[in-house]
Chain A
Amino acid sequence: MFDENEIVNRILRNDLRAFELLVNQYQKLVFFVINRLVQNKQNKEDICQEVFIKIHHSLPSFRFQSKLSTWIARIAYLTAVNYLKSNKGKSSYEYRENIDEYHFTDENPERELMKKDTSLYVNHLIEQMPHQYKTVLTLYHLNEFSLTEINEITGIPEGTVKSYLFRARKLLKEKLEKDIKQENIWKS
């Protein structure tokens, strides 16, 4: 079984084998966060590597005041946000200032093909959402963090996290329902 305390202590004694075990344990968590926030496919692996190097350098300051997974997710989130800030303007989607006014853009033929695979299509819709929505959806549903933990990771107040989560899911559900209705009209 993975023992956080033992692994961290071994890493602090310069045991790189223990660090490899930590990477294996948390690479999915880091990838889910980076994958959702960073659009550029080629940079995802490099950013994930950067996150783990940062984790290794910052580990001496980890005091077990939170779960190791929460601490790692925070480093991944902040690295992704910094990457987005430094690449501002290169993003393929432009978001509104007020994310509560967010709505999906119009259809295109590529999207029509995607709709056959719900999960692929939902991921495609999430890609277009503001990064706050993407983050809470990923941390809550994929990484299975609680609202309190998401607050620790992102620094967004718990009430706002909840509101982003509910609003994002409502938007997605309405979009999917609209698509199904439209498909039925075309069929009839």
Chain B
Amino acid sequence: MEELNDDELQELLSQGLTSGNKSLNDKEAGDLLAYQDLFKALETAPSTGLPLSFASNVRRKLQEQLNRKSDIRFNITAVSVFVLSLVLGYGLLQLISETTADLVLNVVLKFKWILISVIGLFFCLLAIEQRLVKREY
């Protein structure tokens, strides 16, 4: 009988053969046993693993990312609403009284740096608050 090579032995083992259910010569039986031990070792899970809290850690990290995204979205919306309301207010004022509208625009331009600083400060405080607030998940 022709001797089984390594590939054939591995194929037989993958199909569930053990040394007891086929007539093999000494060398083949020895090789088969060696492969059986190897397969057992290969199927042994590593002794170390992920911590028990891994799933909740991933969920927390994901929640943080989603919160950050929604905070950014909120801030952009707030800035857009603020700018739009200013433009809309100025437009309405132009319709009602052109002189008052120009007067308001002049005042705004005169104190532009103070206004920009106040608005900037407001959004900085908003961002700091969003970072400091501890959320409950």
Q: Out of B34, B54, B63, which one reaches A173, CB within 8 Å? A: B34
Report the separation of the CA atoms of residues A135 and B64 in the bound assembly, to the nearest whole angstrom: 32
Report the separation of the CA atoms of residues A120 and B57 in the bound assembly, to the nearest whole angstrom: 29
Give the contacts of A37-94 with B (CB-CB under 8 A). 45, 48-49, 52-53, 56
Report the separation of the CA atoms of residues A68 and B62 in the bound assembly, to the nearest whole angstrom: 20
Cross-chain contact A177 with B45 (CB below 8 angstroms): no
Q: How many residues of B contact A (CB 8 A)?
A: 32
Question: In the complex where A172-B38, A173-B31, A173-B38 touch, is A141 in contact with B59 (Cβ < 8 A)?
Answer: no
B46 close to chain A: CB less than 8 A: yes
Cross-chain contact B49 with A49 (CB below 8 angstroms): no
Q: Out of A16, A49, A170, which one reaches B57, CB within 8 Å? A: A49
Residues from chain A with Cβ under 8 Å of B58 in the complex: 19-20, 23, 49, 52-53
Report the separation of the CA atoms of residues A122 and B10 in the bound assembly, to the nearest whole angstrom: 17
Cross-chain contact B38 with A166 (CB below 8 angstroms): no
CB nearest to B35 among chain A residues: A173
A8 close to chain B: CB less than 8 A: no
B43 close to chain A: CB less than 8 A: yes
Interface size class of A (residues with CB under 8 A): 20 to 34
Cross-chain contact B42 with A122 (CB below 8 angstroms): yes
Cross-chain contact B49 with A118 (CB below 8 angstroms): no
Report the separation of the CA atoms of residues A50 and B115 in the bound assembly, to the nearest whole angstrom: 42
B39 close to chain A: CB less than 8 A: yes
Residues from chain A with Cβ under 8 Å of B34 in the complex: 173, 176-177
Question: In the complex where A169-B35, A172-B38, A176-B38 touch, is A49 in contact with B61 (Cβ < 8 A)?
Answer: yes
Report the separation of the CA atoms of residues A177 and B47 in the bound assembly, to the nearest whole angstrom: 24
Report the separation of the CA atoms of residues A28 and B51 in the bound assembly, to the nearest whole angstrom: 11
Residues from chain B with Cβ under 8 Å of A119 in the complex: 40-41, 44
Cross-chain contact B41 with A31 (CB below 8 angstroms): no
Cross-chain contact B50 with A122 (CB below 8 angstroms): no
Q: Out of B38, B45, B48, B55, which one reaches A142, CB within 8 Å? A: B45
Q: Out of B46, B51, B137, which one reaches A32, CB within 8 Å? A: B46
Cross-chain contact B50 with A31 (CB below 8 angstroms): yes
Chain A 14-28 interface 0/1 with B at a Cβ cutoff of 8 Å (1 = within) = 001001110110011
* Chain B positions near chain A (C-beta within 8 angstroms): 6-7, 10, 31, 34-35, 37-51, 54-59, 61-63, 65, 137
